[in-house]
Amino acid sequence: MIRLIRFSRMLVLSFLVTQQTVYADDHPIPDEYVYCTVCHGILFGGNVATAAPKLTGLSAWYIESQLRAFRDGLRGTHIEDLAGLEMRPMAEMLSEERLSQVSRLVATLPNQNQLDNPGKRTERGKQLYSGCGACHGADGRGNQQFAAPNLVTQDSWYLIKQLNNYRNNIRGTQDRDIPGRQMRSAVSGLESEQDLIDVVSFIQSMQ
């Protein structure tokens, strides 16, 4: 029995060690940021179970802007925004220096293409996206000039959730939040749940 326990412990340990090695060798994440991956997934690939989105594929300037938005109370304060409320204290813990450092770090990680929705192009989706392209780019890859992030690498569950956050006045409501307010007014053309699905499917078809 004891031998069995020892053996299984060894198995668990060797599993952990192996995991650690793959992780550390390929893309070392400094110890102080490993806790981000507890929610955002290994290598920041997103995790629907914790509602924490994929961060790879995003530019450093956008990651930094959102960490600031959480830290400064522009995002993640609404009572119905459970996911945002969870993220907010994480950003509050970061010093100015770490906030920039982690943003740059995450932006250098490889983007993992594991889209849950292969993206079915519909005429309606294309038509709806034509307005979005003015800021997010005709290719959906974002434009820093308009503070508009890359959308095409993101998972559909998170895109739909954020579009609903803007529609339901959960994100982008505060006077100081100029990019958020711009985005909130941009969702007025999305009238139904089907519109959200169509526009998000179109976005993902551009991957």
Q: Which stretch binds ligand HEC (CB under 6 A): 3-11, 15-23, 29-37, 114-122?
A: 29-37
Q: Which stretch binds ligand HEC (CB under 6 A): 20-28, 62-70, 110-118, 119-127?
A: 62-70
Instruction: Provide Rg for the chain, Cα atoms.
Output: 19
Burial class from Cβ neighbours inside 10 Å (0-12, 13-18, 19+) for residue 160 reads middle
Q: Which long-range contacts (CB under 8 A, 24 or more apart) does 35-38 make?
A: 36/90, 36/102, 36/106
Q: Which stretch binds ligand HEC (CB under 6 A): 16-24, 35-43, 107-115, 119-127?
A: 35-43
**Residue 98 identity (one-letter amino acid):** R
Answer yes or no: are the C-beta atoms of 116 and 157 closer than 8 Å.
yes
Place of tokens 């889209």: 115
Q: Residue 125 Cβ, how far from ligand HEC at the closest point, in Å?
A: 10
Q: Is residue 115 a contact point for ligand HEC (CB under 6 A)?
A: no
Q: Which tokens belong to 188?
A: 């007025």
Answer yes or no: are the C-beta atoms of 87 and 76 closer than 8 Å.
yes
Quick one: 24 or 66, whose CB is closer to ligand HEC?
Answer: 66
Phi, psi of 71 (to 5 degrees): -60, -40
Q: Which tokens belong to 105?
A: 């770090």
Q: Is residue 134 a contact point for ligand HEC (CB under 6 A)?
A: yes
Q: Is residue 73 a contact point for ligand HEC (CB under 6 A)?
A: no
Q: Residue 205 Cβ, how far from ligand HEC at the closest point, in Å?
A: 13
Name, in order, each residue with C-beta under 8 angstroms of 90's C-beta and a sequence gap of 6 or more: 36, 39, 70
Selected binder of ligand HEC within 83, 107, 153, 201 (CB under 6 A): 83
Selected binder of ligand HEC within 29, 43, 151, 152 (CB under 6 A): 151
List of residues contacting ligand HEC (CB under 6 A): 33, 35-36, 38-40, 50-53, 55, 58, 63, 65-67, 69, 83-84, 86-87, 90, 94, 102, 128, 131-132, 134-136, 146-149, 151, 154, 159, 161-163, 172, 179-180, 182-183, 186-187, 189-190, 199
